Amino acid sequence: MIQIHEKMTGPGIRPRDVQVWVPAGYHSRDPAPEKRYPVLYMHDGQNVFDPRTSTLGIAWEADRTAERMIDEGLIREIIIVAVNHTPDRMTEYSDSPAGHNYMRFITGVLKPFIDENYSTNPAREACAVMGSSMGGLISLLLAWKFTEFFGMAGCLSPVFVIDDVNVLPLVRNNPKPPVKIYIDNGGRGLDSRLQVGCDLTLSELISKGFINRRDLEWFFDKDDDHSEEAWRKRLWRPLLFFFGV
């Protein structure tokens, strides 16, 4: 089930719709009506569930992947919150004034709203944030800067170091946060240009004390490119790493 909350906004950002998916068992929780669900916040919400709303007509179909993995007993039941982007996407998904406004919207407006209106587990250990490309960058920034809210960050084909984007000083000059980080990348198209940034960031994370398969997971597929189709195919990996049974 997907519910749409229209034109949500916060200081300094444009209104945008937010879609919330709950698993099949959410509305039939007897005999445990007090059950609380982990939450995954995803950027580029138009591309998360429905190909008809996706920018290029291909969606991640995150609801289908999550439902299948829940049914197979691979992951816990979760709630997915998909936050639509606006024409300000590039600046909102960066370490910029617009990005800071967007992060304050996520942490100060959206998360309190979701926790108040849904049966969530609000603890940081139960909350993940995920995105691709620039959405991967803002996911890392959110988890690193707001560890009181998020305990997991999923970064698919992330823009970490390229042109005027450089996440390395943030990682290098700040203490290791108590978060789990998933990073992946493909070997074709734009992903091949982003590989250097992934490698440099992974090196910095490991030097900070992150340990593979404990609080860091990295995956590379040489045949994947920078596309919704590739991210849809790989989505099960961070879901398993964050919410695996």
pLDDT in tens, 206-235: 999 999 999 999 999 999 999 999 999 999
Each residue of 8-61: pLDDT tens digit?
A: 999 999 999 999 999 998 987 655 668 999 999 999 999 999 999 998 899 999
| Two structure tokens written together for 14 | 């444009």
Q: How confident is the model at residue 90 (pLDDT cuts 50, 70, 90)?
A: very high
Residue closest to 41 by CA, chosen among 118, 100, 98, 94: 118
Residues of the chain above pLDDT 70, percent: 98
The pTM of this model reads: 0.96
The CB density around residue 55, as the number of other CB atoms within 10 Å, is 11
**Domain with residues 2-243, CATH architecture:** 3-Layer(aba) Sandwich (3.40)
Q: What is the pLDDT of residue 27?
A: 83
Q: What is the mean pLDDT of residues 161-169?
A: 94
CB contact at 8 A, 44 and 131: yes
Given this model, what pLDDT does residue 55 score? 85
When the pLDDT of each residue in the chain is averaged and rounded to a whole number, the result is: 96
Give the residue extent of every domain in the chain: 2-243
Q: For position 126, what pLDDT does the model report?
A: 98
CA distance 148 to 153: 13
Instruction: Output the furthest CA–CA distance in the chain (Å, rounded).
Output: 54
pLDDT tens sequence across 96-109: 999 999 999 999 99
User: For residue 30, what pLDDT is reported?
Assistant: 58
Q: What is the DSSP string of the chain?
A: -EEEEEEE--TTS--EEEEEE--GGGG--TT-TT--B-EEEESSGGGTS-TTTSTTS----HHHHHHHHHHTTSB---EEEEE---TTHHHHTSSSHHHHHHHHHIIIIIHHHHHHHS-B--SGGGEEEEEETHHHHHHHHHHHH-TTT-SEEEEES---EETTEE-HHHHHTSPPPS-EEEEEEESSTHHHHHHHHHHHHHHHHHHHT--BTTTEEEEEETT--SSHHHHHHHTHHHHHHHHB-
